[in-house]
Amino acid sequence: MVGANVKPRLVIGRVLLVLALVVAGIRLIDVQGFQAAALSAKAQQQLQLPLTLPASRGVITDRNGTQLAFSVDVDALYAQPGIMRKNWEANPKANPGVSYDQHTQAIADLMSKLLGPAINEQAVLGQLRSAGSFAYLVSQVNPALANQIHATFPEIGAEVRAMREYPQDSVAANVIGLANWRLDTTPAYLGGVTGLEHSMDAQLAGKPGSEIVDTEQGNYNVQIPGSQRDVRPAVNGENVQLTVDTDTQYEVQQLLTQYVAKTGAKDGSAVVMDVHTGQVYALANDNTFNPNLPITGTNTNVGDGAVTNAFEPGSVNKVITMAAAIDEGLVTPDTVIDVPSQLPVADRVIHDDWSHGDQKFTVTGVFAKSSNIGTDEIAQRVGQQNYYDMLIKMGLGTKTGVGLPGESAGYVPAIKDWSGSTFANLPFGQGLQETVLQLAGMYQAIANGGVRIPPRIIQSVTRADGTVVPTQQPAGVRVVSPQTAATLLSMMRAITQSAPSPNRATAPSAALAGYQIAGKTGTAQQVDPATHRYSDTMNTVTFAGILSADNPRFVVALMLDNPADHAESGETAAPLFHDIAAYLAQKYDLPVSSGPTPYMTLVQQP
């Protein structure tokens, strides 16, 4: 009985299996044959699209938290002209009586109405009517306006971007630099082009994230809500705080620009540095730019000459000879030097900038009256190797490492390459090159008790998680002994001495009422590019000053490139120092000096 029942069930099972296979085959034929085109078209309606999630670029602030650079959200509008036209022409019943040209004109009209001069209507029409697969129509659109355009014409897509804002316009622009939307990278991002925006791009930019979404191709890449997956969040960029003070930077830039115009100079640079920390409070250039405006025409001076341009400094470098001589115990400020009317050295004859007979200068007088002859005589006592060693200890020939891009190391000729007259030119600042920042560093060392602290302009970095990482103060370099530094600082007060000749110094115009000023003037001949020889009409004017001599707080270093009428430092850069020093004294409430600058004998009377 059992066996009889099994056979019908097997037959029935086989019949059912055959029927199932037949149904599946019919269904397969239907799907792959009759419905293939329809289902393929439907599948094309949903496409997976990998998206980049942009990271927010970090903010740049000054030492007080004032924003110097930040980002705002904008959209870039785009279209797929070839697909737009194809879909429009494939559905004439959906748009009765309206041609594709009329449709694109309506799009352009709305964009022109909402965006105004931000777009070129004819250019937009040309892109929409092209056969191209993709076109950006306009960048940096307010997201609200972009949404309005997309809501009216869904085929116009909006790509999320960011735009960099610089609320202080040209203030510290050469330091901060510029960031633009970079389409030459994968993925595209808001990236640095110049300045700190470029050199610190990796920290500021952060790391983009990613996700995958489903889109409706027929609806021009509109995302299907809720389809996001495989999400990797973006890591926002780090915030950077500078040592710069915005108010001081603004004032120094304004004064520098005024003096460049007043003196007829080609351009100029200035640095204000804290004596005890090496922090840069202001780093200014006359040739600057506004990063909020198009970089064209006169708005193209994006470099930072205060750190990138090296020049022959002139007599400000006489401090090196004095530092070496005093530190070696070879002279004192009152040592008398016999200074002739001229001094033969190798194949050169050295003169001073003014005519005089044989005179007896004090070492202080050699410095304060800026005698080339007296300086060379003192340098001969120092010797070539000791002098060269002092150049290196002062930081010349080496980048400061301040943290700004394109910094120049300047130029110091190797001692093995010196000719017979090289050691005649170097002691008064010809035959070598340095930047304004390096110049400030030399005088910072003297004002700081003989310890040079490499300058810095980055105060701290705040990571994406909120952790604040201060920039460590660089280790100091002992240049001269504390006693030598104090002696030099005292001696340099004579630079502002206003007295009857021959005891008048080179920079009475640098004096500031209530404060003892220490410093040095400099005027260097420039090399004529046509003759490759030193010019008699082209010069570089420099000044380095310390505020104040008895309580040092700031070093100010200045450079004016080729003032008109061969003007010298005491007539150009020294008055500029006075105005900057007056501002610093008031801004930072610096204590006045304990008394007036004492009179010093510069030249002994017969």
- Tens of pLDDT, residues 458-500: 999 999 899 999 999 899 999 999 999 999 999 999 999 999 9
Q: Is the pLDDT of residue 457 over 50?
A: yes
- CA–CA separation, 560 and 558 (whole Å): 7
Q: Which residue has the tokens 């007539």?
A: 571
Task: Show the tokens assigned to 331.
Answer: 């002279």
Q: What is the pLDDT of residue 462?
A: 95
DSSP secondary structure string for all residues of 180-207: EEE-SSSS-EEEEEEHHHHHTHHHHH-B
Task: Show the tokens assigned to 311.
Answer: 């020049």
315 included as an active-site residue: yes
CA 238 to chain centre: 17
567-602, pLDDT tens digit by residue?
776 788 999 999 999 999 999 999 999 999 999 999
CA 23 to chain centre: 74
- CA–CA separation, 281 and 552 (whole Å): 15
- CA–CA separation, 164 and 209 (whole Å): 20
Count Cβ atoms below 10 Å from residue 518 Cβ, excluding itself. 27
SS3 51: strand
Amino acid present at 53: L
Q: Is the pLDDT of residue 216 over 80?
A: no
Q: How confident is the model at residue 45 (pLDDT cuts 50, 70, 90)?
A: very low
Q: What is the pLDDT of residue 26?
A: 62
- CA–CA separation, 232 and 221 (whole Å): 21
Q: Is the dihedral of CA 485, 489, 490, 491 positive or negative?
A: positive
Angle at 200 between CA 195 and CA 202, to 5 degrees: 135
104-114, pLDDT tens digit by residue?
898 888 988 98
Give the pairing type, strands 67-79 and 135-141.
Answer: antiparallel
Burial of 463 (0-12, 13-18, 19+ CB in 10 A): middle
- CA–CA separation, 25 and 45 (whole Å): 27
Strand (E) or helix (H) holding 253:
helix 246-263
Please state the pTM of the whole predicted model. Answer: 0.85
Q: How confident is the model at residue 139 (pLDDT cuts 50, 70, 90)?
A: confident
SS3 563: coil
Active-site choice (315, 370, 548, 569) = 315
Q: Are 581 and 242 in contact (CB under 8 A)?
A: no
Q: What is the pLDDT of residue 189?
A: 81
- CA–CA separation, 392 and 300 (whole Å): 35
- CA–CA separation, 35 and 478 (whole Å): 86
Which residues, other chains included, contact 28 with Cβ-Cβ below 8 Å and sequence gap of 6+? Answer: none
The stretches of 492-572 forming alpha helices (DSSP H) are none
Set out the domains of the chain in order of their start, with CATH numbers.
49-233 (3.90.1310.10), 246-593 (3.40.710.10)
The average pLDDT across 127-153 equals 86
Q: Is the pLDDT of residue 220 over 60?
A: no
Count Cβ atoms below 10 Å from residue 293 Cβ, excluding itself. 13
- The candidate with the shortest Cα–Cα distance to 446, out of 364, 375, 549, 369, is 549
The average pLDDT across 160-167 equals 88
Q: What is the pLDDT of residue 605?
A: 82
Q: Are 279 and 470 in contact (CB under 8 A)?
A: no
